[in-house]
Amino acid sequence: MQAPFNVRAGLGGTGMDWQSGIALERGYNIRPRPVRRIFGLNDDFPDLSEHLGGDLGPYKGWDRVNAPMIRHWCEAMGEHNPIYTDLQAAGAEGFDRVVAPPAMLQAWCMPGFGEQHPPGSERSEPMAVLPLLEAAGYPAVVAVNCEQEYARYLEDGDEIYYRSSIESISDKKTTALGVGFFVTQLCTYYDQRDEVVGTMRFRVLQYRPHDLPDTLS
């Protein structure tokens, strides 16, 4: 049986750094962490508490896990582990099919052009809280970091979907970019047997740049 493992990736000016390394962690419990409350919202700020927690989904992928996409990803990322592209090498490690690099987890359920998921998917925006923050005077957004945790390798032919919740919204923070709120989305990924295969925590900063007039005063 495969041991669960995780990867933490920082998001910098050059984009997502999936080369930050994979750390194996035995005995990982994949249940979502408790939802945290909102702090520090004043009277003239919209009530965001209804957006905490929740369970939106499923958000389905357009394609099953497949060898061509795995190969393209490996070529783009410079990944040379043969279990991702060679059936014999994968078989030597106990797999019936080639497996996908764990960091591809998010890729299997990304929407297509026009931000559309396939039929049968949840139609609600998974991070609807961000437009509310924008309307409240925090118009800019930047990705902060991404943490993925995996229960097993995904194999060629797996069919993946995810469910989404807002795990936390911070109190108002002053950063080098401006003043704003850190919002953490928790995505839980499932296979065709409705078994959890991984999670992703995606954190963004929705903020008002320092040089933007304070529209809330």
**pLDDT of amino acid 213:** 66
pLDDT confidence of residue 113: 82
Task: Note whether residue 162 is domain-resident.
Answer: yes
pLDDT at 51: 81
Q: Is residue 37 in a domain? A: no
* pLDDT score of 90: 97
Burial class (CB in 10 A: 0-12, 13-18, 19+), 120: exposed
* Averages of pLDDT over each 10 residues, the chain, 217 residues: 53 32 30 36 64 92 97 97 97 97 96 88 92 93 96 98 96 94 97 98 96 61
Domains held by the chain: number: 1
Question: What pTM, to 2 d.p., does this model score?
Answer: 0.79
CATH number at residue 134: 3.10.129.10
Specify the residue for token string 């409705």: 194
**Distance separating alpha carbons of residues 205 and 182, to the nearest angstrom:** 4
Task: Provide the pLDDT for residue 153.
Answer: 98
Residue range of the domain that includes 115: 5-12+20-26+50-63+111-209
Q: What is the pLDDT of residue 189?
A: 98
Do 58 and 144 contact (CB within 8 A), yes or no? Answer: no
Q: Is residue 102 part of a domain?
A: no
Task: List the structure tokens of 154.
Answer: 């995904």
SS percent in the chain: helix, strand, coil, step 5: 20, 35, 50
Angle among Cα 155, 120, 204 to the nearest 5 degrees reads 75
Buried b (16+ CB within 10 A) or exposed e, 53-85: bbebbbbbbeeebeeebbeebbeeeebeeebbb
Residue 48 has what pLDDT?
78
In a domain, 101, yes or no: no
Q: Is residue 161 part of a domain?
A: yes
Whole-number Cα distances in Å, 8 to 102, 164, 193: 12, 19, 26
Residue 90 lies in a domain: no
How far apart, in whole angstroms, are the C-alpha atoms of residue 173 and residue 176? Answer: 10
CA distances from 165 to 12, 34, 39, 59, 126 (A): 24, 11, 18, 12, 7
184 in a structural domain: yes
Residue 91 lies in a domain: no
What pLDDT score does 166 carry? 96
What's the half-sphere exposure (Cβ side, CA atoms, 13 Å) at 24? 5
